[in-house]
Amino acid sequence: MSAEAATGGEPPAEEESPGELSGGAADGGAADGGTADADAAQGGTDAGAGADGGSWEGITPDAARRLVVAAVEAFAERGYHATTTRDIAGRAGMSPAALYIHYKTKEELLYQISKVGHLRSLALLAGARDGAGTAAERLAHAVRVFVRWHAEHHTTGRVVQYELGALSPGHYTEIVALRRQSEDAIRSIIGDGVAAGEFDVPDVSGTTLAVLSLCIDVARWFNPNGRRTPDEVGALYADLVLRMVRQADGQAGPAA
């Protein structure tokens, strides 16, 4: 099972394998937009937040951050291909020419958003994998925090998870590598559970795909005005996943 399939993305047109992709024209970083790698890995704060509370504090200067927030909202609302740089600049209160001071292309904005989101996802899942506790406890924690992030940041999550195919070949390869690391974290936890006799999973790769797909889809449907909070959805999904993997005698235990 491929990482891109597990996490909802599609490869660029006519490309069969991420490993065969070569660098694209937009492989470089933002022209003057900075990065948010460290902030993403640690979770960041609410400074520079978008409509769903997504944090972009690590992106500097302020104009570059405003453009990212505007791009997230526009891509989520209209889709990447239907969004123009004029749309993004207008939402950010800038002229179209001002956008190019910070980002050479619209695709660079998508790459910045994708990288921050995937680094955050990887930090959450790797933290659960490397944490203390049984495999069941670590899997429940991984699902709970991953689902909660996609609920709390559902607008950002939709862009990060469902616009992968719009990235340039070089950026696509980089992001898929991060996705594979996230997939490996879940696979490792499930494998530990099988080895310890906690889980009854005949197909670890297929189960990993199912778990990731279940979590990621929360970004598509979550309604902040609905009856469940992000924490409640996370707890529900953690319990559902443990029911998927545990032994018939319920050895995996509760998700709490």
| Mean pLDDT in residue range 6-19 | 38
When comparing pLDDT for 199 and 32, which is higher?
A: 199
C-alpha 127/C-alpha 40 separation (Å) is: 13
Q: What is the pLDDT at residue 246?
A: 86
Residue 18 confidence (pLDDT): 28
Task: Quote the crossing angle between the two packed helices 154-162 and 106-130, to the nearest 10°.
Answer: 100
pLDDT in tens, 232-255: 999 999 999 999 998 655 554 445
Task: Identify which has the larger pLDDT, 135 or 32.
Answer: 135
Query: Within 106-250, where are the H helices?
Result: 106-130, 135-152, 154-162, 169-195, 204-216, 218-221, 230-245
Distances (CA, A) of 202 to 190, 195, 206: 11, 12, 9
Six token digits for residue 185: 């974290």
Taking the C-alpha atoms of residue 255 and residue 237, their distance in angstroms, rounded to an integer, is: 9
- Supply the DSSP symbol for 199: B
Spatial neighbors of 244 by CB under 8 A, at least 6 apart, are: 207, 210, 211
Per residue in 124-156, pLDDT tens? 999 999 999 999 999 999 999 999 999 999 999
pLDDT band at 59 (very low <50, low <70, confident <90, very high): confident
Could you tell me what percent of the chain has a pLDDT over 90? Answer: 71
* Rounded-to-integer distance, Cα 31 and Cα 183, Å: 31
Q: Residue 153: which residues within 8 A CB-CB, separation 6 or more?
A: 52, 53, 54, 117, 219
Domain 26-245 fold = Tetracycline Repressor; domain 2 (1.10.357)
Nearest residue to 88 via CA among 3, 159, 174: 159
Helices and strands per DSSP (H, E), number in the chain: 12, 0
Residue-wise burial string across 57-84, b where 16 or more C-beta atoms lie within 10 A, e elsewhere: ebbbeebbbbbbbbbbbbbbeeebeebe
pLDDT reported for residue 58: 75
- Ordered by start, the domain boundaries in the chain are 26-245
The model's pLDDT over 173-202, given as tens digits with 9 standing for 90+, comes to 999 999 999 999 999 999 999 999 999 999
Distance CA 143, CA 237 (A): 7
- Residue 80 pLDDT > 80, yes or no? yes
